[in-house]
Amino acid sequence: MDHFQYQNGELHAEDVPLSRIADQVGSPVYVYSAATLARHFGLFRQALDWTDHLVCFAVKSNSNLAVLKLMGDLGAGMDVVSGGEYLRAKAAGVPGDRIVFSGVGKTEDEMTLAIRGGIRQFNVESEPEMRVLSRVAHGLGVTVPIAIRVNPDVDAKTHEKIATGKSENKFGIPIARAREVYAEAATLPGLQVVGVDVHIGSQLTDLEPFRAAYLKVAELTRALREDGHTITRLDLGGGLGIPYRRDNNAPPLPLEYGQVIRETVGDLGCEIEIEPGRNIVGNAGVLLSKVIYVKNGEDRDFLIVDAAMNDLLRPAMYGAHHDIVPVVEPAVAAPVQPYDVVGPVCESGDTFQKGAQLPKMAADDLIAFRSAGAYGAVMASEYNSRPLVPEVLVSGDHFAVIRARPTFEEMLARDSIPEWL
């Protein structure tokens, strides 16, 4: 469920008509619903209310400070994968003891930053990283909690670019070698082993890969305890999918996901950490865009809109689908026709959807790309020297710009021409 519904013939974000935002902020623009964010986060907390837990929002899915502040105020932890994301979480007021640092390529500078600023744990991805972290922590005179990420070689049955739990993926340590790696970790100064970490991919719409991975984690946890390790936390990752197509069967609910966790690792007495991102923020956002031209081609009609692949990369990068809807509510049984919805960037890959079934459209009509709150604004760029798309947060009947669209002067001012030119 989300809070983007038609009211009085127009699509609203909560109680704000999207046309009002377009009039005041311009387009394209990302629009987020605070009520949807809060509701989705609450569902994950409810799914784990049977045990000690921390729901860590995956900052990589949407790193806007206002979104992070809202989540942090609700009690969320943060899962970060870079020093920049760590600083964003801290700037949003999230304390270090609720921040988990993941990612395969942590640098010494990033480790130092997080240790000095406070950290709940590092999720260690490799033996070389583990040794570097030991040296950094020992040099700073501290001991840091770690969980080691294991790769369970489980097929998440998702897009190849967002699968992370198969043996050929770059993530984690092969689970078959985990005991020897944990044995080394126990000997390294500056490290305190506290848990096991696993993450098998994103946009999963089937619970069975989770079950298979978590059963392997449970078996490993028992073996590690037999080896003398104190395992008190299980970081089970994120990845639960969302319904990008409204006409498809809905993915599993957070409550069903929580039940799988309970059935597989609930008897181990561990605190559970999860890292949802897309499932919290994906359907909490839309990308609002305006039609520039309706172009009649030889065998198809094109809607050329002011949003482009630099604003929403997912269709070009993943072949991803986003439902596209008119902001003005179509009349009941209004006829529809196919349009190829495309942006103005000079690449054929700048195509959002082919044959989108929409009512008759005209220049200046507004459309909304649904389910665009995750991996939308965070992946945006200034390709073709197009300004970064702004972001707006709605709460009830009011809204605020939470990232402004830069001016061309601001964009140009970031470049410098050397004197010798």
* Distance in angstroms (rounded) separating the CA atoms of residues 327 and 322: 15
Cβ count within 10 A of residue 269 = 11
Backbone angles phi, psi at 223, to 5 degrees: -65, -40
* Distance in angstroms (rounded) separating the CA atoms of residues 362 and 296: 12
| Residue 264 near residue 214 (C-beta atoms within 8 A) | yes
Residue 145 identity (one-letter amino acid): P
* Distance in angstroms (rounded) separating the CA atoms of residues 60 and 379: 9
Which residues, 6 or more positions from 142, have their beta carbon under 8 angstroms from its beta carbon?
115, 190
- Which of the residues are catalytic? 346
